[in-house]
Every structure is written in C-alpha cells, then in structure tokens.
Structure 1
Amino acid sequence: MFSTGSDDVGVRKAFFGSLVFETVEKTNGATSITTGIDNPVPIVILFVVLTIVFTMMQIIYRGLKQRRDELLKMSGS
C-alpha cells in the first residue's frame, strides 16, 4: 500500500478512492510519503454497514438466548 512500485513518485489511491498515499521526492534525495482521505463516502458506508451487521448479530444472539431459556424452562417444569 505504501510502496509505489519501482521508484515511482506519485499518488496512489486505495479503498475505492477514499484513501490517498502520495510519494514526493525531495531535493536532498529523500522520499516523503503523505497520506490522507480524499473521499470519505466509502468509509462512512463501511461504518454504517458494519454497524447494521453487528446490530443484527446482537439481536439474533439475544433472540436465540431468549428462546434457549424458554426451552430450558419448559423442560424443567
């Protein structure tokens, strides 16, 4: 992700264009790398999707746990 190939100097984008990695060659021969966010929409979408998935997993887990407790209560009576 941080390498630009064979000594290429330029800009690389990752994660659907949301993350930007720019390599700049300085006058003293050193290479400088800067990073940033170019388009936050894919990051926000990922956050929303993960929040929905984790919420659904928690709801399903609680429902299954409640059903298990009901079955254990019924078999114990």
Structure 2
Amino acid sequence: MVLLTLMFSTGTDEVVERKAFFGSLVFETVKKDDGALGITTGVENPVPIVVLFLVLTAVLTMIQASYRGLKERREQLLDASGS
C-alpha cells in the first residue's frame, strides 16, 4: 500500500527517489536512454519491517493470552454460580 502511494504521488515525467516507512521501502524512477521512465521498487533497509513484525507478533500474543485468561475466568465464574 505504501509503495502504491509513493508510485502515484510522483508526476508523469519526474525523476525521483522516494522512501517510506523509515527508509525501508524505496520507489525510484529513472529516465532511460530512449526517453522512457524506468521504475524500481523494493526494500532498502529491512530492519523497520522486522521490528514491526516482532512488535505485532508480541501484541497479538498478549491479546490472545488475555483472551484465554478471561475466557477461563468466565468459565470459573459460571461454574461457581451454577453450583
């Protein structure tokens, strides 16, 4: 999604290099010899992407653990009130 935003934020004849997501994603247009524009996209620095993946994994793991704990507590309360 970020690369699409970078791609469509450039003009038709601009030669630019744009970076996004803390410099990890790059979009570059280069004027070729025949007058056409060459486009390059890719990952320049994977560290922010890896950090995002680790943070999201940790947050989702905590949410799942909290959900399981609350579900077990609910079952305990339902068992206690039914006795």
Please confirm whether the aligned pair reaches a TM-score higher than 0.5, indicating the same fold: yes
Q: How many residues align?
A: 77
Instruction: Work out the CA distance in 1 between the residues paired with 2:27 and 2:74.
Output: 50
Match of 2:26 in 1: 20
Match of 2:3 in 1: none
Aligned partner of 2:75 in structure 1 is: 69
Q: Which amino acid aligns with 1:53?
A: V
The structure with more helix, counted as a fraction of residues: 2
1:20-59 to 2 correspondence within 5 Å? 20-59=26-65
Q: Which amino acid aligns with 1:20?
A: V
SS of 1:20's partner is strand
Moved over 4 A (4+): none
Displacement after TM superposition at 1:26 (Å): 2.1
Letter in 2 for 1:37: V
Q: What's the RMSD between the two structures over aligned residues?
A: 1.4
**So what's the TM-score if we normalise by structure 2?**
0.84
Instruction: Please give the TM-score of this superposition, normalised by the length of structure 1.
Output: 0.90
